[in-house]
Structure 1
Amino acid sequence: MEGKNNSKLNSSGRGISNNSQKLCFCKTLTFKLSVSLIVLFIIIFFITTVILINQNRRQVLEIVEKNIIRTGDIIKRSTRYSMLLNRREDVYQIIKTIGTEPEVSGIKVYNKLGIIKFADEDSLINKNADLTSAECSPCHSIQNPKLYLTTDERIRIFTNEKGERIIGLIIPIENEKECSSSLCHAHSEDQRILGVIDVQMSLASVDNIMQRNKNSLILHSILITLIISIFSGVFIWLMVHKRVKALIKGTKELSRGNYDYRIDLKSCDELGELSKDFNIMADNLKKALEEIKALNENLNIKVKEKTQQLKEIYSHVNQIERIASLGKLSATVAHELNNPLEGILTYSKLIIKKLNNNLNDEDKKKIIQYLELIASESERCGNIVKNLLLFSRSSETNIAPNDLISILERSLMLINHHLQLHNIQLVKDFCCRYLEFDCDKNQIQQALVAILINAIEAMPEGGTLTVKVNCENNFVYIRITDTGVGIPQENINKIFEPFFSTKAGGKGTGLGLSVVYGIVKQHQGKIEVQSEVNKGTTVTLIFPKKLVAEMG
């Protein structure tokens, strides 16, 4: 039993080992954790990069707006004095000079009628402004023009015909006290706005700088993400993957039955605690296995002892049933012996009487006949006693080729006088004259006699006992049928239980059919019972045909 348990444990371990395929790296915890961190870093740096790019764009635009506002203020202040003195040439030169600056795209001065009076390009002077244009629409897009504009309303960004972005600033020229009181100007004091200065600056260089900053920021974000991802992957590999792999190896070794394997992880984190618990579990499993082995050894010894005791008990029960059956046969045997013994006694007296007288030839012949009868009856008595001794003898199981038909005939001879006493008619239906059967003939005879006696006792008022032997579908069937009282259906499944008996008054031991059941099973056979109350019972013994060789 211990060997079987160990083999089961080993085979179980091998099954686990064979079923546990090598885990693909893409399915490992290290890969999943690394990918999750890399995706998280990418999302974080992407959001951070977008925020920084937008923030940089706003800051640069703020600087550009401040720059164009300062440029506009410079133009307004530079031309103010010349305008008060009506020095148009000075104003023109100032605007022309500032217009040549690299970032300045254009400068125009409109009067109150929307006519360009000064510009950095001569071709634009004295042209009327389109009130729906970008520079005029902030004030003239509604029916009543605005007198004052906010800084955001005065600044606009648009794209010129070259595809460059341009930022424009509208600077109103207010009617100051010096303007209205100047001798060269004919402006009334109630006129608030005299004209506007439109300053335009190119954003091409600014856009280039912002694009370079954007590219640089994206590149640095990618590099930082890559560096952090590599560092995180290496960290996870060293701190998680290797230690988890050690734990996996430990569980596989344990599943293969290597209970001496221990995991050496000296750390104070969760994995270290897990390795300590694993080692404790392995120690407990090893102790439990040793205890199981010790219990198995003790159990094997106890099983052997109990098996031997059961064999002895079964042998004892078998012998008890033999004795019980022998007791049932005793009356029949006594009657069987009485008849031939009376004949022997009678013919012996006749021989003595004849010998006392003078013998003639006829008397000699009669004496010879009497002696032959005495020899025949003596042989008959010997056969009865011999069969009775064979039946009652207790011996070890001896499986050997035997004639099944002869065993049946001997069994029927033992219960023959029972049949006569109970007025029972015997019907024999054998498929052949000889059936070779590997069996213990004494045990088979014991089983048949027990069944036949039960059948006779079931017919106290007489009846018919049919014994049929035939071969069907690779099996040999022995059917013993009586026309007796039958067995109730609720008791059919109990009749093979030890000490169960349906006989009244405690006449039965309840061991007969249980012994029969054991004998049939020992010969790889089956026993079936069909019964109907007050109609009779059929007991069928079924043996594999491979054990039987039919002859004749």
Structure 2
Amino acid sequence: MWYRSLGLRLIFVVGAVTSVVFAVFFYGTLQTQSRETLDEMVRSVHLASEIVRRSLRYDMLQYQPERLHRAIDTIGGHERIDKVRIFNALGRIIYSSHKAEMGTYLDKSAEQCYACHTREEPFERLDTAERTRIFQSEAGYRVLGMINPIYNEPDCFNGSCHVHPPDQKVLGVLDIDVSLEGMDRALERMRTHMFLLAGCAVITIAAILVVLIHRFLNRPLQQLLQGIERVSAGDLSTPIVVHSRDEIGVLAKSFNTMTERLRASERELRESEAKYRSLFENDPNPIFVLDLETFHILDVNIRAVETYEYSREELLAMSFLDLAEEKDAQKIRELATQACIFLPRVRHRKKSGDYLYVNIHSCPRLHLGRDVIIANIADITDRVQTEAQLIQAAKMATLGEMSAGVAHELNQPLNAIRIGCEFFLKKVRRGEPVEAHTMAKVATQIVEQVERASGIINHLREFGRRSDAFEMEPVDINRPIQDVFTVLGQQLRLREIRVELDLAQGLPPVLGVANRLEQVFLNLVMNARDAMEEKRQRGEDEEMVLYIRTFQEGDKVVVMVRDTGTGIPEGIRERIFEPFFTTKEVGRGTGLGLSISYGIIKECGGSIEVHSEEGQGTTFRLTFPACQEPEMWAGWRAV
């Protein structure tokens, strides 16, 4: 709008400032001129008063009233002189150009007398300012009055015609009133002329400003604004033509430089976008571009379409969270907007309803001026299935290795059952009655042993069941440790291996799969058993002790497994977690136990360390993050 114009505001401000400056200047000038004119008038009236007093001195000495009257009338008849009069020391007007007031008395409080009679004793000498007064005439114009004392000089009191004593200092006063009407009119004309001059000056300055601002400000700014509008409309090819070398010219030059750089950046951006699109579309992994707040899918690459079996249009109409189960989606919603994250082993659904297992790498980013999340998806379905098969194979191999121990564990309850049955059979053959309490006791023991054998078999069946690594849940770490000795406890006792369990109670749960954690501890216990038996076979007669301890350390749950076996030589200590690496004889191990155990522990977010001294035994330290809120992790899969 025109009233928002910078030039108009500048003209208004400069005009207002100029007007104020001129007003102050002319006001000061007029005030100074008025004071100087009035001072000059006072000096002139004082001079005139002195001339009149000296002119009338002779007539007053000679006491010639007629001549005094004519002189006063002549002086009083001047157009600039309003009144001339002489009054004596008593205030009686003895001569006046206005005949009607002759012979009258003035009050001492009158303005003509006030200067001399402000004190009890009148002043004998007055300066010019004290003898001057300005007052308003009856006709409405200003009048300058000047009193000039008539002193009793020697010529007066020595004359034969005078009767004034020598001690009388002042004989009377000559009072002249001069009209200031002419001076005031001249000052008014001068004031009017100065105001007109100031107005013309302000208008002239404003006109010059209008021309200059239009020439040097409005026109270049208009060109600059048009250039900015072209740039905002996307036209970067038309430079701004400004020929001035002032700040606006420098600004226009800088603007043109900026548009050139923008053109170059735009070219680079297009090239970068083309490169990005090429990399985006040809990436071997599915890539999703998601809205930061809603997780709505904004863009996908070809690989995502192929992997999830949806069309591009179908995916762009979906939320990324629709691909995951509710608990997975909730975790993604909580974590993905905060920072770059890695979510392993998440289960997604294809359009067909089949599941695939993925690792999600996601980062919040500013993409094309919009806050988004870029998620890179790695399909690990084949790897997970292969790992599951490998773990299951290792589990079956472990069961095979445990067969002797299982036989021992089952042999004891079977023996107890056989003894009970033989007892009943012997009584029957002899025809002896069996007392009721004896029968109840033997039958109870048989039932207990059957239940024990059934428990061992069920536990073996549960252990051998193929587990889903994604169905992780809070687990009391003491439970899989105790389950190990369900199938190996009797075997260890028969081999004279003392087991010491120091399991802390009230530990927070860890996130994992119970039978996989049991597989970890089975591997560690069986390796410890073999190491201690190997040491005994070497002829070292030392008590074989297996020590397992659990405790909490900060927000971690720690398991220590220590044996008194042969230890691990330093040269191979770093290789024990490698797949298929083993120091056992052929047929006694696959070399997968510790490697698979390592993978299971990592799935739970934990770590495993080994400390060993050859000939002194080995200690494994397993550390798991404590699950502080088990209810929120129930059913959660491998984060």
Report the CA distance between 1:118 and its aligned residue: 0.9
Equivalent residue, structure 2, for 1:84: 61
Q: Which residue of 1 aligns with 2:116?
A: 139
Q: 1:504 to 1:114 in 2, by over 3 A?
A: same
Q: Is the deviation greater in 126-135 or in 150-159?
A: 126-135
Match of 1:135, SS state, is helix
Matches within 5 A, 1:433-448: none
User: Which of 136, 156, 168 is the matching residue for 1:159?
Assistant: 136
1:254 aligned residue (225, 231, 238) = 231
Aligned to 1:109: 86
In structure 1, what residue type is equivalent to 2:20?
A: I
Structure 1 residue aligned with 2:213: 236
Q: CA deviation at 1:119?
A: 0.9
> Are residue 216 (structure 1) and residue 193 (structure 2) matched?
yes
Q: Partner of 1:266: helix, strand, or coil? A: coil
* Structure 2 Cα separation of the partners of residues 177 and 139 of structure 1: 22
Query: Greater shift after overlay, 186-195 or 237-246?
Result: 186-195
SS at 1:300 equivalent: helix
SS at match of 1:423: helix
Residues 379-528 of structure 1 aligned to structure 2 (within 5 Å): 422-424=460-462, 504-507=593-596
Determine whether 1:280 maps to 2:257. Answer: yes
Aligned to 2:16: 39
Count of residues in Structure 1 that have an aligned counterpart in Structure 2: 375
Cα distance in 2, alignment partners of residues 40 and 319 from structure 1: 84
The answer for the alignment partner of 1:10 in structure 2 is: none
What secondary structure is seen at the aligned counterpart in 1 of 2:111? coil
Name the counterpart of 1:149.
Answer: 126
Other structure's SS at 2:187 match: helix
Distance 1:275 1:281 in 2: 10
- Three-state SS of the structure 2 residue aligned to 1:109 is strand
Any conservation in 1 of the 2:81–2:179 contact (CA below 8 Å)? yes
What is the aligned partner in structure 2 of residue 403 from structure 1?
none
The amino acid that maps onto 1:261 is T
Which secondary structure state, in structure 2, belongs to the residue aligned with residue 114 of structure 1?
Answer: coil
Whole-Å Cα distance in 2 between the matches of residues 151 and 237 of structure 1?
59
Please give the per-residue CA displacement for 1:233-262, whole angstroms capped at 9, x wherever unaligned.
332232122223333333343344322231
The residue that corresponds to 1:128 in the other structure is 105
Change (3 A) 1:282 1:72: same
SS at match of 2:112: coil
Question: Are the counterparts in 2 of residues 131 and 140 from structure 1 also a CA contact under 8 Å?
Answer: yes
Distance 1:120 1:226, change over 3 A: same
Counterpart-to-counterpart distance in 1, 2:45 and 2:378: 123
Secondary structure of 1:113's partner?
coil
- Greater shift in the superposed pair: 133-142 or 223-232: 223-232
Residue by residue over 1:260-290, the C-alpha shift from the partner in whole angstroms, topping out at 9 and shown as x without a partner, is 2312111221211122122222222222222
- The reply to whether residue 297 of structure 1 matches residue 274 of structure 2 is yes
Equivalent position amino acid for 1:137 in 2? Y
Counterpart code for 1:216: H
Structure with the larger helix share? 1
Q: Specify which of 177, 186, 192 is matched with residue 163 of structure 2.
A: 186
In 2, Cα distance between equivalents of 1:332 and 1:171: 140
Instruction: Give the aligned partner of residue 67 of structure 1.
Output: 44
Please give the alpha-carbon distance, in whole angstroms, between the structure 2 residues aligned to 1:97 and 1:213: 32
**Residue 54 of structure 1: which of 3, 10, 31 is its match?**
31
C-alpha offsets along residues 132-166 of structure 1, whole Å, 9 cap, x if unaligned?
21111211221222222111111111123443322
The change in CA–CA distance for 1:327 and 1:184 in structure 2 (over 3 A counts) is: closer
Question: Whole-Å Cα distance in 2 between the matches of residues 114 and 538 of structure 1?
Answer: 124
* Aligned residues of 1:482 and 1:538 also touching (Cα < 8 A): no
Query: Aligned-pair distance for 1:104?
Result: 1.9
- Cα deviation, 1:186-237, whole Å, max 9, x if unaligned, reads 3445543322111112223322332232233223322322321232233223
* CA distance 1:216–1:205, shift in 2 (3 Å): same
Distance 2:11 2:59 in 1: 72
Q: Mark the runs of 5 or more structure 1 residues left unpaired by the alignment.
A: 1-23, 334-418, 428-446, 463-480, 492-498, 515-530, 542-552
Gap change, CA 1:237 and 1:461, over 3 Å in 2: farther
| TM-score (normalised: structure 2) | 0.49
CA distance in 2, matches of 1:315, 1:210: 99
C-alpha distance 171-315 of structure 1, shift in aligned 2 (>3 A): closer
Distance 1:107 1:134 in 2: 15
Equivalent-residue separation in structure 2 for 1:425 and 1:331 (angstroms)? 12
Give me the whole-angstrom Cα distance separating, in 1, the residues matched to 2:147 and 2:215.
Answer: 64
Give the 3-state SS of the residue equivalent to 1:56 in structure 2.
helix
Q: Residues of 1 paired with 2:91 and 2:84: CA distance? A: 15
Moved more, 148-157 or 219-228: 219-228
Check the 8 A contact 2:285/2:378 in 1, yes or no: no
The Cα RMSD (Å) is 4.8
